[in-house]
Structure 1
Amino acid sequence: MEPSVNVIGTKLQTCSGNPLTGFYRNGCCDTGPEDQGSHTVCVVVTAEFLAMSKYLGNDLSTPRPEFRFAGLKPGDRWCLCAGRFMQAAQEFAAPQVVLEATHARALDIIPLELLRTHAVVNPQD
């Protein structure tokens, strides 16, 4: 398997190991044919985004121990579905994006300029 590439054309960086994220739960926003939701956008979640997601039926903040999921809190990084990011952007609730950790396949759904508009200034923080 070839290394995954991010939206800026370099090697895909890790999004988060704590909480462990990614469709494959490898910390990266890797994707493949099994990933119907395109979990390709590495975001830094906000309270506003979490509230919107919960309202829309995808509660990411409530712990689900049966799935070994502690729940997300503002500031956590998470591999978000590209379609959900677009929806959040349309609702003015899009979280910040870590471009270096966002898979190039996100560009199938999201224009690069929109991702850049929401880019984290210093992704190391």
Structure 2
Amino acid sequence: MAKNVLGGDLQTCSGNPKTGYFRDGCCHTSAEDPGMHTICAVMTEDFLEFTKMMGNDLSTPRPEYGFPGLKAGDRWCLCLERWKEALKSGSAPPVVLEATHASVVEFLDLETLRERAWQG
């Protein structure tokens, strides 16, 4: 079983809407996932606006892809680089540490993630 950034088993990020590169609800990754959809984040209005401005509109439903559109409070597996961009801009959404893939600590230190951990 995959591990999370805290060293435990990777927990489900979201089953509704179904997230993850493999749409299995978890932030699993593999060589097939060049975007590294590994950070489980709780969406905020600020982040949804930021990512839309960056060219990735996550709030508009896309039924042709089975995508319902996200709203504040939804959990979603984000691409590592997009979260890092949002961090630099001050728009990074909170992270669900138990559902964030262990590989993330190769690119971000755990303290940074803990500082932005979702408290819910």
Class of the TM-score when normalised by the shorter of the 2 chains: over 0.9
Instruction: Give the structure 2 partner of residue 6 of structure 1.
Output: 4
Check whether the contact 1:82–1:110 (CA below 8 A) recurs between aligned residues: no
**In structure 1, which of residues 74, 95, 98 is the aligned counterpart of residue 72 of structure 2?**
74
Instruction: Give the structure 1 partner of residue 24 of structure 2.
Output: 26
Matches within 5 A, 1:109-124: 109-122=107-120
Q: TM-score, normalised by structure 1?
A: 0.94
Instruction: Give the structure 2 partner of residue 84 of structure 1.
Output: 82
Matches within 5 A, 1:94-105: 94-105=92-103
Cα distance in 2 for partners of 1:53, 1:120 equals: 19
Over the matched positions of the two proteins, sequence identity in percent amounts to 56
- Unaligned regions of 5+ residues in structure 1, if any? none
Q: TM-score, normalised by structure 2?
A: 0.98
Letter in 1 for 2:75: R
- What SS does the corresponding residue of 1:100 show, helix, strand or coil? helix
Cα distance in 1 for partners of 2:33, 2:111 equals: 24
Q: C-alpha displacement at 1:84, in angstroms?
A: 0.7
Cα distance in 1 for partners of 2:47, 2:84 equals: 12
- Unaligned regions of 5+ residues in structure 2, if any? none
Instruction: Give the structure 2 partner of residue 54 of structure 1.
Output: 52
Cα distance in 2 for partners of 1:121, 1:38 equals: 24
Cα distance in 1 for partners of 2:107, 2:22 equals: 20
Letter in 2 for 1:110: L
Task: State the Cα RMSD in Å.
Answer: 0.7
The structure 1 segments of at least 4 consecutive aligned residues displaced by more than 3 Å after TM superposition are none
Check whether the contact 1:7–1:107 (CA below 8 A) recurs between aligned residues: yes
Partner deviation per Cα, 1:11-38 (whole Å, 9 max, x = no partner) = 0000000000000000000011101001
